[in-house]
Amino acid sequence: MTDAAALSEAVAPGYQFEGAALELGGLMADAETLTETPIRIPLGMLNRHGLVAGATGTGKTKTLQLLAEQLSAAGVPVFAADIKGDLSGLATPGTSSEKLTARAASVGQTWQARGFPVEYFALGGEGTGIPVRVTVEAFGPTLLSKVLDLNETQESSLGLVFHYAEKEGLKLVGLDDLRAVLQWLVSDEGKGDLKELGGLSSSTTGVILRTLIAFADQGADEFFGEPAFAVTDFVRNDGDLGIISLLELPNLQDRPAIFSTFLMWLLAELFRALPEVGDVDKPKLVFFFDEAHLLFNDASDAFLDQITNTVRLIRSKGVGVFFVTQKPTDVPDDVLGQLGSRIQHQLRVATPNDAKALKASVNTYPTSSYDDLGAVIQTLGIGEAIVTVMNERGAPTPVAWTRLRAPESLMGPTEAAAMEAAVTGSPLAAKYSASVEVESAADQIKAKAAAVLAAKTAEVEEKAAQKSAQKSAEKSASTKSSRSRSRSQEDDDSMIETVVKSTAFKQAARTAARELVRGIFKRR
């Protein structure tokens, strides 16, 4: 590979820092030769972010545990997703063994069993942990479009719905609220509300509604709701120790996009909620983003831009982010370029595609003192990694083959009873354990629809009343006319009867009759 003395001389100046640093382990010249050069990451460089990569079973979880322990000991709070449940052992002192003691001694570590302050969290309370909930409104249309796998047109339409809800004061708490607003906006009563903004097509709305149903079927309803979790509760200390917040992610294989996108929301919310602090001596929080490749798979350009900007800017809030995945190439170049600390475990090559991936991974590292870095990566044993970090000047150090220190907490899960006791005794339990029912968009839309129906009913009833009144008036007028004609005829008949019955009329009639008779006989 290369001469051990030359390698030690090349990397030592970059790794022996003055001041506080995380102790990673010792420099190895080759698979058998361990030098006395320590490998460290300065605390002040941790908000320049990092990467922990390697194939399954090569020690990534133990490396994450080692980093979390030392950060907590330095007073830095930690957040990590506990996918397999192994990290829960951080709360329990480890178990010594002859092999463990020998390994620790080989890298200059005085191993001492110890536990660290741990808070357990669970999405929506699904599992053992304090419930972490978020409202649909806070989650936002961009992240929701990612997790629903919507195209650009559908994402744009969803953004329009969120805009409308905000404008109208409709609270999007759960998925049922979003469904209610969508259904309202394509109904006869509600579709006019978006007329000035272009409206929603029925076909696009139908697609979004169907994906929301599938999303809910995966259990997403459980982590949307109130009370919404305040991410600043991850930034806490227990005396001089930073609290390690572990988020349980059960059944990840069944719903990977949900969890990876939810973690991205947490990161974005931290950026929004935390104050600007600039470059600090040590970070305010270190956030470990496990299974990071799930976040970037099939991500839209808009979503990738959001991730890139969040990672770039969140360092000014004192937050360091470590992405944990299998290969460096799982992370887009724009994000990878911002990851100053890199810990790469073994990569296995069994196929031409694996060889291609290895070569691409090697190309992401700075110039190495090793003759064949790809061969080194394949040769790494469990608990070994190649490491490069940023020194105090912000420049990347040479790649170093490192034997990592051993965690001092339990390298396995903490007992369930101890975890449950920790959750029950947490000061956050009273704040988040019970869900809260609030008047949300579904209730508001229901009331709005009822008001529209009542107004229409009143309008119909008013028109019916007007029509009835008009008919009554016409009938009354007709009756009066008939009565008037009847009275006129009665008056005429009465007058005739009076005339006929009068003495003058009778005398005139007799006179007329005599004259008629005379005339008749005279002519004869």
Q: Which CATH number belongs to the domain containing residue 289 in this structure?
A: 3.40.50.300
Mean pLDDT of 187-200: 81
**Does residue 441 sit within a domain?**
no
- 168 with 312, same domain: the answer is no
pLDDT digits over 209-261, tens only? Answer: 999 998 888 777 878 889 999 999 999 999 999 999 999 876 666 677 777 77
Gap between the Cα atoms of 75 and 242, Å rounded: 4
pLDDT for the residue 164 = 92
Show which of 199, 219, 239 is a domain's final residue: 219
Does residue 152 share a domain with residue 36? no
Q: Pick the closest to residue 361 from 375, 350, 381 (CA basis).
A: 375
Q: Is residue 484 part of a domain?
A: yes
Q: Are 173 and 135 in contact (CB under 8 A)?
A: yes
Tell me: do 161 and 299 sit in the same domain. Answer: no
For every residue of 68-127, which 3-state class applies, written as one string? Answer: HHHHHHCCCCEEEEECCCHHHHHHCECCCCHHHHHHHHHCCCCCCCCCCCEEEEEECCCC
Quote the pLDDT of residue 364: 85
Question: Angle, to 10 degrees, between the axis of helix 141-148 and the axis of helix 152-168?
Answer: 140
Structural domain contains residue 248: yes
Same-domain pairing of 309 and 375: yes
In a domain, 275, yes or no: yes
Lowest model confidence (mean pLDDT) among 14-18, 59-63, 133-137: 14-18
pLDDT band at 487 (very low <50, low <70, confident <90, very high): low
Tokens 């002040």 correspond to what residue?
44
Identify whether residues 268 and 156 lie together within a single domain.
Answer: no
Residue closest to 71 by CA, chosen among 261, 192, 234 = 234
Last residue of a domain, one of 188, 203, 219: 219
**Structural domain count, the chain:** 3
39 φ, ψ (degrees, to nearest 5):
-110, 120
Tokens describing residue 444: 């508001």
Q: Distance between CA 128 and CA 113 in Å, rounded? A: 25
340 lies in the same domain as 282: yes
146 lies in the same domain as 98: no
In the three-class reduction of DSSP (H, G, I as helix; E, B as strand; rest coil), residue 344 is classed as strand
Does the pLDDT of residue 521 top 50, yes or no? no
| Tally of CB atoms within 10 A around 514 | 9
Owner of token pair 């007799």 = 510
Both 246 and 342 in a single domain? yes
- What pTM was estimated for this model as a whole? 0.81
Inside any domain, residue 440: no
Q: Which residue has the higher pLDDT, 466 or 129?
A: 129
- Domain-embedded: residue 443: no
Range of the domain at 143: 137-219
* pLDDT, tens digit, 9 for 90 and up, residues 51-108: 999 998 888 999 999 999 999 999 999 999 887 778 999 999 999 998 898 889 889 8
Whats the size of the chain, residue-wise?
A: 524
- Residue 231 sits in the same domain as residue 304: yes
Asked if residue 442 belongs to a domain, the reply is no
Q: Is residue 466 very low, low, confident or very high in pLDDT (cuts 50, 70, 90)?
A: confident
Does one domain contain both 273 and 157?
no
DSSP state of 330: G
**Does residue 438 form part of some domain?**
no
User: ∠293-299-301 over CA atoms, to 5°?
Assistant: 130
Question: Same domain, yes or no, for 497 and 355?
Answer: no
Decide if 396 contacts 389 (C-beta within 8 A). Answer: yes
Supply the pLDDT for residue 497.
Answer: 58
Domain end point (choices 219, 235, 254): 219
User: Are 316 and 417 contained in the same domain?
Assistant: yes
Per-residue tokens: 330 = 């799982």
